Amino acid sequence: MRLTSILFATSFTLIAATGWVHLEAGPNDDGPAERRAVQELAVAGQRVGVSLDRARVPAGAAVRLTVSGVEPGAAGRELAVRVMAQTSSPMARVPTPPREVARATVRLATAPVTVPLTLPGMGARDRLAVAGRITQYTVVVSDGDQRDAAVALPVFAYEPEAFRLAIDPPAPGPAGAPVDVTVRVTNVADAPLRGVTIRASGSLFTSSDAARVARLAPGATAVVTLHGVRGEVGVGEASLVAYGSAERGGTASLWTRLDPGSGGLTELPPPVDLLLGMY
């Protein structure tokens, strides 16, 4: 299979199957709650399993590619590993062509073999200019002797956010009643942020309201209130999302769901189609 076809098929699968990745942490952390299913590659007529330990890492960190399940007949063969990056603007009509950022060779053995692969991210000197941005990578693993036998493993690297969001649980009430949502905005960068605009939405909260923080010093927290209407939701559907953008400081978001038992908010990962729209 041609590399361009592999990358296209990978992106299409991500968009179509939004349940492809499940993270245990929110937008400011990394790591999957469930490991991605092991993909299989045929080498010398034998099945070889390949997997990544994480689906999302901070820029500059490494994911670990593991090759396992090697039968004696395939031992000693080599796999070619290429890490391809695709970065673009959310407004771009066509993504930029993939570029190779790393490569490695794995010699198969009967015991599992693990190889670290560093995902550099955007590498910008001005961290505020790219804060919150995401780079999509595809780890392509192929049989060194048969280039048409390959699998692709998608993974994301995110630039550290310049600010973080926290949401106070909204007051209970009937659907359709006015409700306020309080969002706390904290500057985690080492420079002041200006023009941070905060909005919120979700099945639990419908609003066109926005709040703006004119200036936020390093380490400071601003508390804003958004006005809206409480939604009518079923069990497990009470989502509440806060998101913000700074004039210079990138973006940040927080995805939550209301716990019907405690009335508190449970942090959730952003959906994969959103991640694709950010790279």
pLDDT digits (tens, 9 = 90+) for 77-120: 889 999 998 765 444 456 567 888 888 999 888 889 999 999 98
- Domain match, 178 and 81 both: no
Do both 108 and 123 map to the same domain?
yes
The whole domain housing 235 covers 163-278
Same-domain check for residues 104 and 197: no
Contact in structure between 170 and 67 (CB atoms under 8 Å): no
Query: Residue 156: which of 61, 42, 238, 262 has the closest Cα?
Result: 61
Residues 77 and 187 in one domain: no
- CATH number of the domain that residue 225 is part of: 2.60.40.10
Domain identity same for 245 and 273? yes
C-alpha span between 5 and 15 (Å, rounded): 16
Q: What is the pTM of this model?
A: 0.66
Residue where one domain finishes, among candidates 127, 158, 189: 158
User: In a 10 Å sphere around its CB, with 0-12 CB exposed, 13-18 middle and 19+ buried, how is residue 100 labelled?
Assistant: exposed
Average pLDDT value for residue range 218-230: 96
pLDDT band at 27 (very low <50, low <70, confident <90, very high): very low
Task: Read off the pLDDT band of 235 (50, 70, 90).
Answer: low
Give the CA count within 13 Å in the CB-facing half-sphere of 186. 9
pLDDT for res 24: 34
**Looking at the structure, do residues 134 and 222 belong to the same domain, yes or no?**
no
Is 119 in the same domain as 250? no
Q: Give the total number of structural domains in the chain.
A: 2
- Quick one: 21 and 96 in the same domain? yes
238 has pLDDT over 90: no
Distant-in-sequence, close-in-space partners of 167: CB < 8 Å, separation ≥ 6: 181, 182, 183, 184, 200, 240, 242, 254, 256, 265
Final residue in a domain of this structure, among 106, 136, 158 = 158
Q: Report the pLDDT value the prediction gives residue 4, as an integer from 0 to 100.
A: 47
Q: Give the pLDDT of residue 87.
A: 62
Residues 278/243, Cβ–Cβ less than 8 Å: no
237 shares a domain with 106: no
- What's 114's domain CATH number? 2.60.40.1930
Give the model's pLDDT for residue 94.
60
